[in-house]
Structure 1
Amino acid sequence: MTDRASELTENLHKVETRIASACASAGRNRDEVTLIVVTKTYPASDVRLLSELGVRHVAENRDQDAAPKAAACADLSLTWHFVGQLQTNKVRSVVGYADVVQSVDRIKLVSALSAAAVRAEREVGTLIQVALDADSGARGERGGVAPDGIEELATAVAGAPGLRLDGLMTVAPLAGPYANREQAAFERLLELSSLLRADHPAANMVSAGMSADLEAAVAAGATHVRVGTAVLGVRPRLG
């Protein structure tokens, strides 16, 4: 086993232990939480090692990095998630490899994703990114729609050919009423998820929590956690 494979094996074991412990503390089954490894800035060789170690879900946030990486790993049985803010001019490329787009936050993006998915003859899962730091009708600094905009977007996604409404995503806000209150933020997301599922029962995915706060997300009821640094190490600086 290479040094890198050993490092990833050890890190994955530590993260798995954290998730399992958080599930036990919350009275949840371990299989209720899916680990998504955020592989942004890391090479395709790491994705291959992760696949060999049993990882099945990976995430990227920049199309220019993700597209060639996904192509290089097309032979692997992986589910690719796109988690970054997405410009409409990148949609056609992203739809070529992403199984799930977690950062849907505006009607224009829904329309672009739908057109690209139909053209590619694919069904793309979508999550509405919720900005818990956004005022009514606004978008958050890190992307996402204010909670009062969820219903409109959900209706648009549900009616869009080529798209599947899977649920909600959030990033713990740095400002606003939930700043430094990750547990409360994630609990609010679960409340919003419950409201969404009243009209869209299949939209039961709740993506929340990262390396530093995955325990809070699991405690709140998240179904998916997005972990990068804790698995892959401190990220290289981008040029």
Structure 2
Amino acid sequence: MTDRKHELAANLAKVEDRIAAACTAAGRAREEVTLIVVTKTYPASDVRLLSELGVRHVAENKDQDAAPKAAECAGLPLRWHFVGQLQTNKVRSVVGYADVVQSVDRARLVTALSKEAVRAGREVGCLLQVALDAGASERGERGGVAPGGVEELAALVAGSPGLRLDGLMTVAPLTGEYAGRQREAFGRLMDLSTDLRRAHPAANMVSAGMSADLEDAVAAGATHVRVGTAVLGVRPRLG
């Protein structure tokens, strides 16, 4: 086993222990939480090693990095999640490899995703990215639909050919009433998920929590956590 594979295996084991402990503390079964490893900025060779170590879900946030990496790893048993802010001119490329787009936050993006999914003959899962730092009608500073806009956008996704409404995603807010209050923020997302599932029972995926706050996300009820640096390490910035 290579040094890098040993390093990734050790890091994965630590993250697994954290998730398992958080599930126990929350009275949840470990099987209720899925780990998504965020592989952004890391090479395809790392994705290949992660796959060998049993990882089945990976996430990317920039199409220009993700598209060639996904192509290089096309034969691996992986589900690719796109988690970054998505411009409509990148939709055709993203639909080519992403199984789930976790950053759906506006009607124009839904329309573009639907068109390209139909053209590609694919069904693409969609999570609505909720901006908990946004007011009733605005988007958050890092993208996302305001809580008040979830119902309308969900209905649009659910009625769009080629798309599947899977649930909700959020990033812990840096500003606003939930800044520094991750557990409360994730609890608010769970409340929104409960409301969403009344109209769309199958949309039960809740993606929240990252390396620093995955325990808060598990405690709140998240079904998926997105972990990058705790698995892959902190990559030095170039230049």
Q: What secondary structure does 2:13 align onto?
A: helix
Query: What one-letter code is carried by the residue in structure 1 that aligns with 2:77?
Result: S
User: What is the distance in 2 between the residues matched to 1:142 and 1:53?
Assistant: 32
Query: What one-letter code is carried by the residue in structure 2 that aligns with 1:41?
Result: T
Aligned position for 1:74:
74
Aligned position for 2:108:
108
Structure 2 counterparts to residues 17-166 of structure 1, below 5 A: 17-166=17-166
Q: Is the 8 A contact 1:41 1:236 kept in 2?
A: no
Instruction: Normalising by structure 1, report the TM-score.
Output: 0.99
User: What is the distance in 2 between the residues matched to 1:128 and 1:238?
Assistant: 33
Query: What one-letter code is carried by the residue in structure 2 that aligns with 1:11?
Result: N
User: What is the distance in 2 between the residues matched to 1:199 and 1:180?
Assistant: 31
User: What is the distance in 1 between the residues matched to 2:79 and 2:219?
Assistant: 25
User: What is the distance in 2 between the residues matched to 1:31 and 1:237?
Assistant: 35
1:67-120 CA distances to partner (integer Å, 9 max, x unpaired)? 000000000010000000000000000000000000000000000000000000
The answer on 1:5 being equivalent to 2:5 is: yes
User: What is the distance in 1 between the residues matched to 2:78 and 2:185?
Assistant: 29
Report the aligned-residue RMSD.
0.7
User: What is the distance in 2 between the residues matched to 1:237 and 1:67?
Assistant: 21
| Structure 2, unaligned runs of 5 or more | none
Q: Is the 8 A contact 1:41 1:238 kept in 2?
A: no
Query: What one-letter code is carried by the residue in structure 2 that aligns with 1:24?
Result: T
The answer on 1:205 being equivalent to 2:232 is: no
- After the TM superposition, which parts of structure 1 deviate over 4 Å for at least 4 consecutive aligned residues? none
| Structure 1, unaligned runs of 5 or more | none
Q: What secondary structure does 1:197 align onto?
A: helix
CA shift, 1:235, in A, is: 2.5
CA shift, 1:22, in A, is: 0.1
Q: How many pairs does the alignment contain?
A: 239
CA shift, 1:157, in A, is: 0.1
